[in-house]
Amino acid sequence: MTKRKSYRRILEIGVEQLLKLSGALTGITILFITLFLFKEGINLFNTPEIEQGYGLYLNVNNKINTLTPIETKKVFDAEIANWQELGGKDEPIKIFRIDDLFQIYSEDELGENNENVSPKLSEIISKDENIIAFLPKQFAPKGSSIKELLAENVKMKDYFFGKEWIPTATPVPLFGVLPLMLGTLFVSIFALLIALPLGLGVAIYLAELAGEKQRRVLKPIIELLAGIPSVVYGFFGLVVLAPIVQKVFQISVGETALTGSLILAIMALPTIISVSEDAIRNTPREMREASLALGASHWQTIYRVVIPYSKSGISAAAVLGIGRAIGETMAVLMVTGNASIIPHSIFDSVRTIPATIAAELGESPAGSSHYQALFLLGCILFVFTMIISIITELISKAKKLKSH
């Protein structure tokens, strides 16, 4: 008997140490993932605004010394066509790229190994004060009549408050995440506004009104919704919901923030229903009986006693629901139109942070500014999720304090 107890004690100690090791490894893994995420993302602000390996060159007599990313984009998109709009002379802007050189000179003139490319570029820019040349640094023009525009690093204000996300733009990629953050919050909040009343209604029915047989049938069906892959939801939204939204609201396309909100609301329903129902069912029986004994009806008891008592659990369900919506990727990518613009209406197409990471990370070169910008998007999503987790924890603690 003593040996059996000693063996059992040794086994308990072994299991205890194994669980401690498992918890420590999990914590260390999460810490390293977080550090890696932030390390890769924060490097973006040490990266030049101009595309890596390229530079912008002007004639030294041109008064312009710096251009913002937005100004550079407008110049190369021909939205700004005169130097006067940038504080220079009243002269038209002439855009020059490396490809233009090969239309002016033959291969023989440029040299067998392109050794004459740099001198020819210097010659062209020195003769024209209105040229702005976007050129590879390996062919950088040299001479006292040439100057390179100052290339500053990507600024935090341009990243967090920029209104355009065009990571493949040349010569200056634009990494404005404001449309992506607003798109994520827009879709998630509207999804919660749809899912919370529906979920709360179903939870009240299951906890207070449904019979035992009905509960046994409905509860597994609702929980089954949580197990359906998100790509299936996305396919359903694209094939079924999007045409319905387009037809009902008479809009040009059905892939909108509304469609995304509807899909996310369906996906968040199982979480909201389960957590809310548990909170409602945990209301002490004595409180219900006391309310009914005082003459309140069943509905009055639910409205004035059960729901107020369960509001902490219902709030936690809402927070978990929005957390589910914010982190969703594939379904949102398929049904929201995938347009990185600031939404002004629920019928606008939007793009969310998770959808952007999923769509672009595989195509961005490792270590590039685009790659770092996507990792920084992951940091923003991490912060959103952390805030939601903290709110959930605070609500849970408030519920425990109330029960004591």
Domain boundaries, the chain: 54-152, 178-403
Segment 87-114, tens digit of pLDDT: 888 999 999 999 898 888 888 888 888 8
Q: Work out the end-to-end distance of the chain between its first and last CA atoms, rounded to an integer number of angstroms.
A: 42
pLDDT at 261: 92
Given a cut of 80, whether residue 41 has pLDDT beyond it is yes
- pTM for this entry: 0.83
Three-class SS state of 147: strand
Compute the average pLDDT of residues 37-65.
Answer: 88
Sequence-distant (≥ 6) Cβ neighbours of residue 117 within 8 angstroms = 98, 101, 110, 111, 139
Q: Burial, 18: exposed, middle or buried (Cβ in 10 Å; 0-12, 13-18, 19+)?
A: exposed
Q: pLDDT digits over 151-197, tens only?
A: 788 899 999 999 999 998 888 899 999 999 999 988 988 998 899 89
**54-152 has CATH 3.40.50.2000 classification:** no
Tell whether domain 178-403 is in CATH 1.10.3720.10: yes
Q: What is the model's pLDDT at position 395? A: 67
How high does pLDDT run on average in the chain? 86
Q: How high is the pLDDT of residue 177?
A: 93
